[in-house]
Structure 1
Amino acid sequence: MIFGNLMFIHGRRLINLGGLQSWARAFATQQKFKDKVIIKVKGGTGGAGCSSFGREKFVPYGPADGGNGGDGGSVYIATRPGTFNNLSHLLSHYKATAGTNGKGGNCHGSLGSSSIIYVPPGTIVKEIQNLNEEEEQSHNYPVQWVQRPGNERLPKLALDGPSFEDEAERQAQELFYSKSPPINTYPIKYNLMDDDGKPRILCQGGIGGFGNVHFLSEKNRSPKFATKGLKGQSKVFELELKTLCDIGLVGLPNAGKSTLLNSLTRASSTVGDYEFTTLQPHLGTVRVISDNHIPVSFRLADIPGLIEGASDGRGLGFEFLRHIERAKLLCMVIDISPKARISCTEAFQQLWKELEEYNPELVERLSVVIANKADISAEKQLESLKDVVSKKRQSIRVIPISATQRQGMDILLRCMADAYTKMKSL
């Protein structure tokens, strides 16, 4: 056991306790972040129809006047820009309220309240299970009856031919079918990339039951039954935040991404002198005037640091690279100070390699290399970095800054704004 370096040997493995402590501190200081969730959604049940007859003075046996039950509420999903930056606010279950029952005097029940689930723009919605799919596709609605008190069963016609029950069943099926919305035979999939805020349906509420007035016929002038409301749709959805930000900051651990994000925005990303201070993306919004004197606003994300072998799944490599994949543009943050853990040229080549091996399209999104900690004597390192970057692609700009001293921020912001404006115009 080596106490000075906080290391011990477990079996044949050498475990670095300092690294474990870094992870523990990071987990303890960061809030929950979710970019993929599964939710169960259920529409409200329709209210029951009423079996009732009118009563007036000198009219002991009035006509049927049972009202219909109200339809159950539906569940929708919509975007709400600027309110959420991930999916951690979502619940595991959502259910709309039921419609109320009908009453006598042809009074219909009220509709159930619908629910709207709000998510950030860039969310992909996929239906992964329909809990009443067979019932919907067969168009066979399960009719349940409400009998008038004192009537234990539906009356049957004594003569040969269809019973009142069979006739009422047929009528109820026709009524439900005529009122039902079009059935979507394909699983729901929404790509909520825009910011229009238009609600999209997830689960329809159940149809309200029909009062006994609907079952009047020549053979049955006094129907003493009504139908119960149908259950609402019940489905399971997977929600994934696909577009996390407009510009993502990528780099090795301790390159200064969190400090840079806090300097450019009002974000409060955790800053520390240990590796993996950031274990989840932190977002902020940048507003700047471009060189063309046009106001530009974009979302900037501090993405957790990459390590060598991330493209092969080392550490949480796949998880971190998945966040990077959601950024429209990338800015690479490189520590160019002489005291950096590895040289700036080696850091750039390592990051380029990990991005290219995971997804070759990622290096095409790289527009700016940010040479951080340039306030320390690092002229040679800066020139070496520019030389290596130009060999990869000459269009990539290298901007020297100091995030802690807020030096070079104006040039960096204009460069980011120009790259973002150019990307949007394509």
Structure 2
Amino acid sequence: MKFVDEATIDAAAGNGGAGCASFRREKFIPFGGPDGGDGGRGGSVYAVADRNLNTLIDYRYARRHEAKNGEAGRGSDQFGAAADDIVLRMPVGTIITDIEKNEVIAELLVPGEPVLICKGGDGGFGNLHFKSSTNRAPRQKTPGWPGEAKKLKLELRVLADVGLLGMPNAGKSTLIAAISNARPKIADYPFTTLHPNLGVVRVAPEKSFVVADVPGLIEGAADGAGLGHRFLRHLQRTRLLLHLVDMAPFDEAVDPVAQAKGIIKELKRYDEELHDKPRWLVLNKLDMVPAEERAARVKDFVKRMKWKGPVFEISALTREGLEPLIHAVYEHVAAEKNPPMPDPDPRFDTPAAQDE
């Protein structure tokens, strides 16, 4: 299935039905009075997050979503029927924006929770509605109210705890395949990954976290070069970024330090908040580095990088060093999800009752 994380649609709620002006016409009842009913409510448009969906592909081709109008009122005290609402199912993490007003209507973060997008118009009043002791034969009626119509932009940001960041061919797909059940495309050429991949990493029973793998970044990504900039939004909801670095590039003239600094620069140009997220350095493909050179190469890399944060040495292909990385990531994510309770302030403690 083609991965689509952006779509533009038109959504329109139904109009309310018109009220009816009618009078009773029965034998032997010359002055029957008004009996025109109100119109029915127009259908509304709702959005619901569905955990079984992972792409907006359906809305790339079906762009118009319109609810039906409410029925008009009729005589004999008959009110018009309300139109059925329509429900648009979208992936969890979808952001719905009103294009004309340039404001976010909703973020679908809770599966199954309906969110009103376009409200249906209320039905008009029939002349039965205007009957009173001083107005026994009203002829007033009102038309139905129009339903809301909006042009919406749908933007999907996947819900992941950890995001993988790095140059093309850094081994991100190999890593997510080694630690989870995700099966991304893996090949010995760059730009293998063309869309984000999600994988669930199970550390222990009832202990897991979600990893997102996005296409690799290159220099100039913030200006539109390559594919990575299109999918950086999927890292904005993560709690931790793992910056993968290829320690054994094909081209010996390539400097891993320069590449790593270039990615950090592009990240900062794209979004300051994304750049400020916790970020760990993961040195990959160390199985291709001679054992006697590993320590010196890692030390030289960290020194030239001027890196002060956590550093992990792994080989995603041989699974070397993955267990310490997985457990450290889970502990960080769990601490972010469940922050420690602050110590109570003794100034606000209830004084204990003293014995007489």
Normalising by the smaller structure, the TM-score range is: 0.7 to 0.9
Letter of the structure 2 residue corresponding to residue 253 of structure 1: P
1:251 corresponds to? 166
Q: Secondary structure of 1:355's match?
A: helix
Letter of the structure 2 residue corresponding to residue 74 of structure 1: S
Deviation of the 1:412 alpha carbon: 2.8
1:376 corresponds to? 288
Deviations 1:42-86 (CA, angstroms, capped at 9, x unpaired): 111112323333344433553221221111122223434x33334
**TM-score if structure 2 supplies the norm length?**
0.78
1:307 corresponds to? 218
Asked if residue 106 in structure 1 is aligned to residue 70 in structure 2, the reply is no
1:7 corresponds to? none
For residues 386 and 44 of structure 1, the distance between their equivalents in structure 2, rounded to whole angstroms, comes to: 66
For residues 166 and 104 of structure 2, the distance between their equivalents in structure 1, rounded to whole angstroms, comes to: 34
Q: Cα gap change, 1:364/1:45 in structure 2, threshold over 3 Å: closer, same or farther?
A: closer
For residues 219 and 320 of structure 2, the distance between their equivalents in structure 1, rounded to whole angstroms, comes to: 29
Question: What RMSD, in angstroms, separates the aligned Cα atoms of the two structures?
Answer: 3.3
Q: Secondary structure of 1:416's match?
A: helix
1:423 corresponds to? 336
2:128 corresponds to? 213
Q: Cα gap change, 1:287/1:374 in structure 2, threshold over 3 Å: closer, same or farther?
A: same
Asked if residue 355 in structure 1 is aligned to residue 267 in structure 2, the reply is yes
Q: Is the 8 A contact 2:201 2:208 kept in 1?
A: yes
Deviations 1:360-417 (CA, angstroms, capped at 9, x unpaired): 55454354333333343443246523543365333323131233x4444433321221
Q: Secondary structure of 2:199's match?
A: strand
Q: Secondary structure of 2:239's match?
A: strand
2:353 corresponds to? none
Letter of the structure 2 residue corresponding to residue 93 of structure 1: R
1:239 corresponds to? 154
Q: Cα gap change, 1:348/1:310 in structure 2, threshold over 3 Å: closer, same or farther?
A: same
Letter of the structure 1 residue corresponding to residue 244 of structure 2: V
Structure 2: segments with no counterpart, 5+ residues? 340-356
Match of 1:49 among 6, 14, 19: 19
Q: Is the 8 A contact 2:44 2:85 kept in 1?
A: yes
For residues 243 and 116 of structure 1, the distance between their equivalents in structure 2, rounded to whole angstroms, comes to: 21
Q: Secondary structure of 2:99's match?
A: strand
For residues 104 and 289 of structure 2, the distance between their equivalents in structure 1, rounded to whole angstroms, comes to: 54
Q: Is the 8 A contact 1:345 1:385 kept in 2?
A: no
Deviations 1:67-112 (CA, angstroms, capped at 9, x unpaired): 21111122223434x3333433334222222222323321222222
Q: Is the 8 A contact 1:71 1:205 kept in 2?
A: yes
Q: Cα gap change, 1:220/1:245 in structure 2, threshold over 3 Å: closer, same or farther?
A: same
Asked if residue 393 in structure 1 is aligned to residue 307 in structure 2, the reply is yes
1:93 corresponds to? 64
Asked if residue 286 in structure 1 is aligned to residue 201 in structure 2, the reply is yes
Structure 1: segments with no counterpart, 5+ residues? 1-29, 131-186
For residues 97 and 250 of structure 2, the distance between their equivalents in structure 1, rounded to whole angstroms, comes to: 48
For residues 152 and 57 of structure 2, the distance between their equivalents in structure 1, rounded to whole angstroms, comes to: 15
Q: Secondary structure of 1:33's match?
A: coil
For residues 365 and 287 of structure 1, the distance between their equivalents in structure 2, rounded to whole angstroms, comes to: 23
Deviation of the 1:306 alpha carbon: 1.3
Q: Cα gap change, 1:321/1:226 in structure 2, threshold over 3 Å: closer, same or farther?
A: closer
Deviations 1:280-319 (CA, angstroms, capped at 9, x unpaired): 2222333333xxxx83333311111112333454344643
Q: Secondary structure of 1:420's match?
A: helix
Deviation of the 1:212 alpha carbon: 2.4
Letter of the structure 1 residue corresponding to residue 114 of structure 2: P
